[in-house]
């Protein structure tokens, strides 16, 4: 592993990107080290020289990705906003920026989370669980419940709002799939997103309390 860290940034990133993409697309078992080295532009031997084995590589990527998310996403969230929907708007923006910085990490963690098929090294498992816990707190902690209508169960309202936001994000993702990220002007999507958020406020918040 120290071998790998001695490489220049650029080469490291190229290898990481290739590996993250491969695992994101195929999961652990069906990912191919052959495709990784071809995509990364290195000889087969080097991958094992750097990382030892496929599994070691996978764990390295998991830890790398978890650290990335904490540093570039979680740590940038402003927890002083107590308006639930405003907070979700804020987290969406920060997440988007982090995603733009390294798309592969998020794709990798996506399939990492839903194919939790094998046992990770304990310290990585712990990091993973800590991340889930932090992610949850980030969304629900110190939320001003008094903004919500009195005639609906707030816990259920939370969920409905989150599902709505996930639904919108999935729709956009699906609509833009295959386009090259940099070529897209996201502003209209953000505007549309804000319109949905306004509707959610109208629907789930008390009448008078819609400040701004």
Partner DNA sequence: AATCCTGTCGACCGGGGTGGTCAACAGTAA
Partner DNA sequence: TTACTGTTGACCACCCCGGTCGACAGGATT
Q: Interface residues with DNA (CB under 7 A)? A: 3, 6-7, 31-35, 41-46, 48-49, 53-55
**Closest distance of CB 118 from DNA, Å:** 13
Looking at 1, 121, 137, 199, which residue binds its own copies (CB under 8 A)?
Answer: 199
Around Cβ 11, how many Cβ atoms within 10 Å?
14
Name the minimum Å distance from CB 178 to DNA: 23
Q: Among 86-94, 137-145, 182-190, 195-203, which window interacts with its own copies (CB under 8 A)?
A: 195-203
- Structure-block tokens of residue 124: 């990585």
CB 46 within 8 A of CB 37: yes
Contact 15, 103 (CB under 8 A): no
- DSSP codes joined into one string, 128-188: HHHHHHHHHHHHHTT--GGGB-TTS-HHHHHHHHHHHHHHHHHHHHHHHTTS-STT---HH
Q: Which does 202 bind (CB under 5 to 8 A by kind): DNA, its own copies, none?
A: its own copies
Q: CB-wise, 100 or 202, nearer to its own copies?
A: 202
Q: What is the DSSP string of 26-52?
A: HHHHH--HHHHHHHHT--HHHHHHHHS
State yes or no: residue 163 binds its own copies (CB under 8 A).
yes
Nearest CB to DNA, comparing residues 41 and 167: 41
Binds 7: which of DNA, its own copies, none (CB < 5-8 Å by kind):
DNA
**For residues 42 and 161, which CB has a smaller minimum distance to DNA in the complex?**
42
Contact window for its own copies (CB under 8 A) among 5-13, 92-100, 129-137, 156-164: 156-164
Q: Residue 202: which H helix or E strand, with range? A: helix 187-204
Give the shortest CB-35-to-DNA separation in angstroms: 6
In this structure, what token pair is assigned to residue 60? 């390295």
d(CA 108, CA 112): 6
Q: Which of the choices DNA, its own copies, none does residue 162 contact, using the CB cut-off of 5 to 8 A by kind?
A: its own copies
Stretch that binds its own copies, among 14-22, 70-78, 153-161, 178-186 (CB under 8 A): 153-161
Read off the tokens for 5. Answer: 């860290």
Please give the Cα distance from 70 to 52 (Å, whole number).
26
Q: Which residues bind its own copies (CB under 8 A)?
A: 30, 149, 151-153, 156-157, 159-160, 162-164, 166-168, 171, 195-196, 199-200, 202-204
């Amino acid at each position: 592993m120290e071998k790998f860290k001695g490489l220049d940034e650029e080469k490291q990133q190229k290898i990481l990107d290739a590996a993250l993409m491969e695992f994101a697309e195929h999961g652990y078992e069906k990912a191919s080290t052959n495709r990784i080295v071809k995509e990364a532009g290195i000889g087969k031997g080097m991958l094992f020289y750097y990382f030892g084995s496929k599994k070691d590589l996978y764990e390295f990527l998991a830890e790398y990705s978890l650290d990335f998310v904490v540093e570039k996403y979680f740590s940038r969230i402003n927890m002083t906003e107590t308006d639930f929907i405003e907070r979700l708007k804020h987290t969406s923006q920060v997440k988007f920026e982090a995603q733009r910085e390294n798309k592969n990490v998020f794709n990798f963690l996506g399939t990492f989370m839903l194919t939790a098929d094998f046992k990770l090294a304990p310290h990585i498992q712990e990091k993973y669980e800590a991340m889930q816990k932090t992610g949850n707190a980030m969304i629900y902690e110190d939320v001003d419940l008094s903004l919500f209508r009195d005639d609906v169960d707030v816990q259920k309202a939370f969920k409905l709002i989150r599902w709505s936001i996930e639904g919108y994000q999935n729709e956009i993702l699906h609509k833009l799939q295959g386009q090259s990220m940099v070529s897209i002007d996201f502003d209209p999507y953000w505007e549309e997103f804000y319109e949905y958020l306004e509707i959610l406020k109208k629907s789930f918040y008390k009448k008078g309390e819609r400040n701004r």
